[in-house]
Amino acid sequence: MSDGHQTISTAPDADGRRRVVIENVTPQIDCGRFPVKRVVGDVLVIEADAFIDGHDEIRVVLRTRVGQADAWHETEMEPLGNDHWRASVSLTELGRYEYSVAGWVDHWETWRHDLKKRIDAAGQDVTVDLRIGAALVEGAADRAIPADSSLLRAAASKLTAAQALGAELDALVEKYPDRSLETTLEQPLAVTVDPERARFSAWYELFPRSASADPERHGTFEDVIARLPYVEELGFDVLYMPPISPIGRQFRKGPNNEPSTDPTDPGVPWAIGGPEGGHSAVHPDLGSLADFRNLVDVARERGIEIALDIAFQASPDHPWVKEHPEWFRARPDGTIQYAENPPKKYQDIYPFDFESRDRRGLWDALAGVFRFWIGQSVRIFRVDNPHTKAFAFWEWAINDIKRDHPEVLFLAEAFTRPKVMYRLAKLGFSQSYTYFTWRNTAAELREYMTELTSAPVSEFFRPNFWPNTPDILHADLQAGGRAAFEARFVLAATLSANYGIYGPAYELMEHTPRDPGTEEYLDSEKYEQRTWDLDRPDSLRDLIARVNRARREHPALQSNERLWFHPIDNPNLLAYTKNSADRRDVILTIANLDFQAAQEGVLELELEVLGLPVDRPFEVVDLLAGTSTTWSGANVPVRMDPAERGAHLLWLRR
């Protein structure tokens, strides 16, 4: 079972009479250990191999239920040939579904098949065969409801070949099969059904303290409300804010991560907790809890969900440090171990000890943080560094919360080893940060996207592409100029159905590192309040709005399925299409990954695969420029000058 698709059937059969074999059920993750993921409205297609020794006919059904309800719904699986079967189920509710496959020997259909062959052979006496068939009909009568039982017994008493081979009796007998020796999966498989936003979303990150237009005044939730029309204009549907809790005072960091020497330094939002409270409190300079709830409500009225950052760590001033010292790791000198990533030291935060003797108390308190903010109408959480917390905690907490709130989504901010990132996704995280930021050549992007969009990864891992974050200013953005910002944005927003940017740093093309060779911003917002000129004439706001409008209007861009990379004879150019499920919507993206020089090449389009005409011209609409032209044939010359544009977004109209 090392391939992850082989499923054990039933427990060992003591007398060996369960003859149907069921295996290779898809989709499934790690032999059914974890659920696959879908969104509400999807149709889940299940396939399996099912076969038997000898030549008896078998019946195979898909069994589904919502949650762990007592009643299973069954759907006949369609034979596809070579002992392979398929069926599907529409996922109409949020939450967890279970599904299984069952199969049994269809003695009635086997008998009818053999009877027909004997009759077709002509001259064979089928008297005894009809007695065998009558016994099978009597058996069905024993299992039938009274009305049908009477009909079946009447048929059995005078069974003829014509009647046995007729459709009416066949349908009646098949309603009551003998399933006493059926085979089914030892354990059901599961699928988690999330809201549509789990698959398709556009995130915009801002620091609420920097939402003030006055550099002398700390931003508030009211300032964020005033910023909502701008976020809506850009086309984002998730507004993500770093932690809004009180910030610790001890070992507070100042500008550019230097030790604070000024009592007015605001500190790092991720140093959570102060005299005002901990994870369930609001920083007093931002406003009140009622002000926050108002922000959530006003944003939702505009079609924007507020995503809140949850960072499970504590400042030295967090109330839990005194109330629950057992939740932290003590050093031999009696002090509490602060966070480290040697040689880096983060004296302003204490990590929780997930090996604490009071593990249950810690787990309950941390899950309670999520539940508190869910009570404030928050439905999306970006979780900071989940890979530094216990896997078992995440599986328990996410499953427990989603049992009551299946609409809640969790984004894992885990830039770590691939297997760890994938494990977190399997444990329940709805979306995940990725290595997109560091996949910078055409070959790297093709390889990475092929991995992310292929099973089994695509069954559980939903990538969320970010070209920048408050922690990451990639070298391409430092040196690539406007073309780099344009290209990386278009790539993020079209390669992945979920993406985000840290703004306004992105649209205003903030590109200066704190130190050469690092990915830290100079004058980072993590350490100080910033004021942004959103009306700067060189802003990328128009490009961002156009791309997000295209994402909303074109179903092809709303999924990671049907991504197709097209050959182009220049390694600095990348070209790919996305299709809608009905192939009526085809979007072509072309990006120049050389941000300094113009590049040329010939693009090869597989027109038949794309559903485009091979023998006549077709229209090409430039979704960024608002113009259109006509192409003809599969080979298209391409020239891209970074001084003009970093990427093309084209609608290939049928």
Looking at the structure, tell me whether residues 174 and 45 fall in a common domain: yes
Tell me: the pLDDT tens digits for 159-170? 999 999 999 999
Q: Which residues contact 438 (CB under 8 A, 6 or more apart)?
A: 474
Looking at the structure, tell me whether residues 28 and 124 fall in a common domain: yes
Angstrom CA distances, 614 to 207, 569, 603, 611, 622, stand at 51, 21, 15, 9, 21
Within a 13 Å sphere around the CA of 419, how many CA atoms are in the beta-carbon half? 0
Query: Are 328 and 315 spatial neighbours (Cβ–Cβ below 8 Å)?
Result: no
Looking at the structure, tell me whether residues 419 and 511 fall in a common domain: yes
Q: What is the mean pLDDT of residues 296-306?
A: 98
Looking at the structure, tell me whether residues 242 and 387 fall in a common domain: yes
Q: Which of 497, 522, 553 is the last residue in one of the domains?
A: 553
Looking at the structure, tell me whether residues 147 and 280 fall in a common domain: no
Residue 73 pLDDT: 96
- Give the pLDDT band of residue 14 (cuts 50, 70, 90): low
Q: Would 558 be classed as within a structural domain?
A: no
Among 139, 127, 134, 141, CA closest to 159: 134
Q: Would 74 be classed as within a structural domain?
A: yes
CATH number for the domain spanning 80: value is 2.60.40.10
As a whole number of angstroms, the distance between CA 370 and CA 366 comes to 7
Neighbours of 287 (CB within 10 A): 21
Tell me: the pLDDT tens digits for 88-129? 999 999 999 999 999 999 999 999 999 999 999 887 899 999
Q: Which of 503, 520, 553 is the last residue in one of the domains?
A: 553
318 pLDDT more than 80: yes
Q: Which of 597-618 are b and which e, b meaning 16 or more Cβ less than 10 Å from the residue's Cβ?
A: eebebebebebeebebeeeeeb
Residue 68 pLDDT: 83
CATH number for the domain spanning 302: value is 3.20.20.80
Looking at the structure, tell me whether residues 456 and 588 fall in a common domain: no
Catalytic residue among 317, 384, 476, 525: 384
Looking at the structure, tell me whether residues 85 and 39 fall in a common domain: yes
What is the count of structural domains for the chain?
Answer: 3
Residue 2 pLDDT: 38
Q: Is 600 a catalytic residue?
A: no
As a whole number of angstroms, the distance between CA 430 and CA 199 comes to 9
CATH number for the domain spanning 629: value is 2.60.40.1180
By CB atoms closer than 10 A (0-12, 13-18, 19+), residue 341 is exposed
Residue 195 pLDDT: 98
Looking at the structure, tell me whether residues 179 and 221 fall in a common domain: no
Looking at the structure, tell me whether residues 144 and 61 fall in a common domain: yes
Among 599, 568, 578, 369, CA closest to 487: 599
Within a 13 Å sphere around the CA of 602, how many CA atoms are in the beta-carbon half? 4
What mean pLDDT value characterizes the chain? 95
Lowest mean pLDDT among 489-493, 605-609, 646-650: 605-609
**What pTM was estimated for this model as a whole?**
0.94
To the nearest 10 degrees (0 to 180), the angle between helices 289-301 and 221-234 is: 20
Q: Is 384 a catalytic residue?
A: yes
What DSSP state is assigned to residue 632? -
Number of H helices, E strands in the chain: 17, 30
- Give the pLDDT band of residue 543 (cuts 50, 70, 90): very high
344 pLDDT more than 80: no
Q: Which of 107-119 are b and which e, b meaning 16 or more Cβ less than 10 Å from the residue's Cβ?
A: bbbbbbebbeeeb
Residue 199 pLDDT: 98
Range of the domain at 583: 563-653
Tell me: the pLDDT tens digits for 592-604? 999 999 999 999 9
The owner of tokens 């691939």 is 418
- Give the pLDDT band of residue 13 (cuts 50, 70, 90): low
3-state helix, strand, coil in the chain (%, to 5): 30, 25, 45
Catalytic residue among 413, 486, 525, 585: 413
The owner of tokens 């392979």 is 84
Looking at the structure, tell me whether residues 638 and 497 fall in a common domain: no
Per the DSSP assignment, residues forming a β-bridge with 540 are: none
Residue 70 pLDDT: 84
For 511, list phi and psi in degrees, rounded to 5. Answer: -140, 10
Looking at the structure, tell me whether residues 248 and 183 fall in a common domain: no
In sequence order, what E strands does 40-130 have?
Answer: 43-51, 58-66, 73-76, 78-81, 84-90, 95-105
Structure tokens at 430: 């709805």
Tell me: the pLDDT tens digits for 60-74? 999 999 988 889 999
Q: Would 502 be classed as within a structural domain?
A: yes
Q: Would 465 be classed as within a structural domain?
A: yes
Structure tokens at 223: 């300032």
Among 640, 637, 622, CA closest to 572: 640
5 pLDDT more than 60: no
Looking at the structure, tell me whether residues 150 and 255 fall in a common domain: no
